[in-house]
Amino acid sequence: MKVIRTIMLCIVVFIHCEQKIYAQGTLEITVEQAEKQFLEQNLLLLAERCNIGIADAAIVQAKVLNNPTIGVSDINFWHPNAAEEIELSRNSFGNRIVFSVELEQIIRTAGKRRKLIDLEKVSKEISVQEFEAFLLSLKTELRTLLYETIYLQSYLDVVSIQKDAISSLVEIYKTQTSAGNIAKSELIRLQSSLIELETEYNELLTELHGVCKELKILLNISPETGILILNSTSVAKNPEDISVVQLIEMAKNSRPEFLLSDLNIKYSEKLLRYEKSLRAPDIALSANYDRYGGVWKNFVGLGISVEIPAFNRNQGNIKIAKLNIEQNNYYAEYQKNVILHEIAENFEHYTLKYNYYKKLMDNDFSADLEEMLGVYSRNLLNRNINMLEYIDFMDAYKTTKQAILTAKKNMELNFVELQYSVNGSIN
């Protein structure tokens, strides 16, 4: 009994120390808190959101009228040839200069300005939906990393418990081997198992560090800060309570790719209207003043000019715009078809993973394993079982716990994919 109490005390001390070290300088955060911090602090999101402001600025620019142009020409600073016939003030230098000034303003015709504004407004809608698609993609990546982190943390705990239990047994077996009570081969077998567990533990820890690095980048957390994801308290949604028809309707109303497909067609149609308006030539209105340059001393005149559309009637760009409409219709139909099949596939996968995890949890197998872990350690020390039986149980314990954790992770990741496919929370 004294030996057993020693083992249990060592296990508790090991686990307590490890948790204390792990918690030091570590940010503990739930899945929900992580998503909130992601929306507020992710640098890529902040950068992509600027595209909406850029689109707003493009609309403002489209509303701006063309600037007028002014030109000064035919300047002569010397005495004009006809100066003897024209009365000039010889005491004023400015009165002896010959020059002309012309002011010109371009007037856009055929509603080009209005059509360009409409085009930029659709472009802004596209920017908004592209941002939503980018946000959806990053949120899915975040959730995947969160559940991967939870899995690795949980599996590390399983390996750590085994590692600490065998480590305590090794110390006791060393003492018993030195006293000649236990064969050295049994000690070596335990030490071999301990090395395998420590190797796996270090590999898992390395993998966890890599996942946490990606997670901290998304959450904009400093590199020196540790992160611990707390298990989510949310209950998995029963697939029997989910309707595929409702999921499809959700996707049609909120999935960015659905809306983007229609917006691309709308943009192509607006572009065609704008390209057609470019066939009509713009009008240039002008006013000019000529001093000493003609028959009259001061001449003021008005003018109008129009480009003759004899050769270039924007035929090529109009043809391109028409083909873009046809092309975007094909793309839209294809994209919507892909999304619908994606929803159906993700629902099937989630149903499969949910039912498998539920089956594992309904038989209380996990609770029995935890109880048997201590029982097998006591039986080994009391010589009720041999070393081979103990090692076999430890392998079965780890394999079963890993299977349960993997099933839970896969179920949660498939639910993430299902929510991604409809861009919404499935309640």
Does pLDDT of 292 surpass 80? no
Residue 80: is its pLDDT beyond 60? no
Residue 23 pLDDT > 70, yes or no?
no
Asked if the model's pLDDT at residue 4 lies above 80, the reply is: no
Tell me the pTM: 0.81
DSSP 136-172: HHHHHHHHHHHHHHHHHHHHHHHHHHHHHHHHHHHHH
Q: Does the pLDDT of residue 306 top 50, yes or no?
A: yes
Kindly state the average pLDDT of the residues 420-426. 88
CATH number, domain 2-66+108-279+314-422:
1.20.1600.10
Percentage above 90 pLDDT, the chain: 60
Q: What integer pLDDT is reported at residue 364 of this predicted model?
A: 65
pLDDT digits (tens, 9 = 90+) for 126-178: 999 999 999 999 999 999 999 999 999 999 999 999 999 899 888 888 988 88
Residue 138 has φ and ψ, to the nearest 5°, of -70, -40
Residue 313 to residue 294: CA distance in whole angstroms: 38
Q: What is the CA radius of gyration of the chain?
A: 39
Q: Is pLDDT at 88 greater than 60 in this prediction?
A: no
Q: Is the dihedral of CA 253, 255, 258, 260 positive or negative?
A: positive
- For residue 387, pLDDT over 80 is answered with yes
The pLDDT, as a whole number, for residue 327 is 96
The answer for residues whose C-beta is within 8 angstroms of residue 245's C-beta and 6 or more apart is none
Least confident residue range of 70-79, 181-190, 240-249, 407-416 = 70-79
Q: Alpha helix (H) ranges present in 24-111?
A: 31-41, 43-63
